[in-house]
Structure 1
């Protein structure tokens, strides 16, 4: 199986330098990864580096806390798309979900999707902070809101992707939306297991070493 086609080659550290972003893009082209995933300030650079290649640019929005205003997230998402992003990975408002403000969570995801039009929207749940019931609820909200993916984690929380979470997410969303596993995926065996469980994309900063 060609794992490379599932990988979002990721560099989201606050310390990421311009040469490191360029290297990320070079590696993505060399290994034919599906996309690179970067912070908003690096989108234009990544787009330029990946010119004439099939590698997509994914940008994170509301990252990593998800606790800024909806309007701020929308402005950030629109800016990333203008700079050349093909996909947006947004963090939900975790506090709203935990406060049972489901309508607000739904509206925010829907508003983000509306603001980026045909571009792909991945909704980051940050599963390490959620109960099983909350994970199910937010998966259903993401489907209802018209998201394209539900995604496990930012990689900046207290935990990353787990097989259990992906099984729960798959059971909840079925084939209505796709699933992205991210956070702490560093070896080939784990990546293959996630693919077997039904994920369509894997977010990892260990892409090249994972292929070995």
Structure 2
């Protein structure tokens, strides 16, 4: 697969808590230069990043990140604020405690509330696969499919593990046709990125794909 095609699926990401204004601007410059799908950044940078990008690429941010145990009202408020500041896409973290308690109706209601708060902007739902049983992953594919969300996403990159090929295969098999899959965390080579896409992922969340492509002489 051509590297330019791979990059068109990448959410070029910086979410570390020490991220600086300069790093965010560099991320945006790279995202524009290499025509990535979006840049994914902390909420506090969204307003300035939107102004700096000036419509040249989508701005994505995170909600309830990285642990997901904020209240539903808090996540909705975060979402509305992000959209007001210019976010085009939001990646929310579900409440894993609700999942482990078996309260999938609550999980569904929260996703629907965040979707409503997003006002039509793209919504990706992070289920944190590394912390789930296979049965929980399958159930969450059903929940996200019923929620109106646009994507189901494997991981935050801040838990015990990131995306795996097996998880992407499982998610592609179990979500509805209206829901796409985003693989995030643990993409260690361009070959990894290509395989995730070949398995059916539509987006890749990564802070390193451009760097890896340069190291491999592809850019």
178-187 or 8-17, which deviates more: 178-187
C-alpha distance in 1 between matches for 2:20 and 2:124? 25
Query: Is 1:28 equivalent to 2:31 in the alignment?
Result: yes
Question: Scaled by the length of structure 1, what TM-score is found?
Answer: 0.97
Trace 1:65-84 onto structure 2 (pairs within 5 A): 65-84=67-86
After TM superposition, give the deviation of residue 122 of structure 1 in Å.
Answer: 0.1
Which runs of 5 or more residues in structure 1 are unaligned? none
Which of 144, 147, 157 aligns to 1:145? It is: 147
Contact 1:43 1:80 in 2 (8 A): yes
Residue 93 of structure 2 corresponds to 91
C-alpha distance in 1 between matches for 2:15 and 2:55? 24
Trace 1:50-199 onto structure 2 (pairs within 5 A): 50-53=53-56, 55-199=57-201
Contact 1:186 1:204 in 2 (8 A): no
C-alpha distance in 1 between matches for 2:201 and 2:190? 14
Which runs of 5 or more residues in structure 2 are unaligned? none
C-alpha distance in 2 between matches for 1:31 and 1:107? 37
4+ aligned runs moved over 3 Å, structure 1: none
**Deviations 1:25-70, CA, capped at 9 Å, x for gaps:** 11101111110001100101211221141x1001100000000100
Aligned residues: 211
C-alpha distance in 2 between matches for 1:190 and 1:203? 12
Contact 1:92 1:125 in 2 (8 A): yes
- Please report the RMSD computed on the Cα atoms of aligned residues, expressed in angstroms: 0.9
C-alpha distance in 1 between matches for 2:192 and 2:198? 10
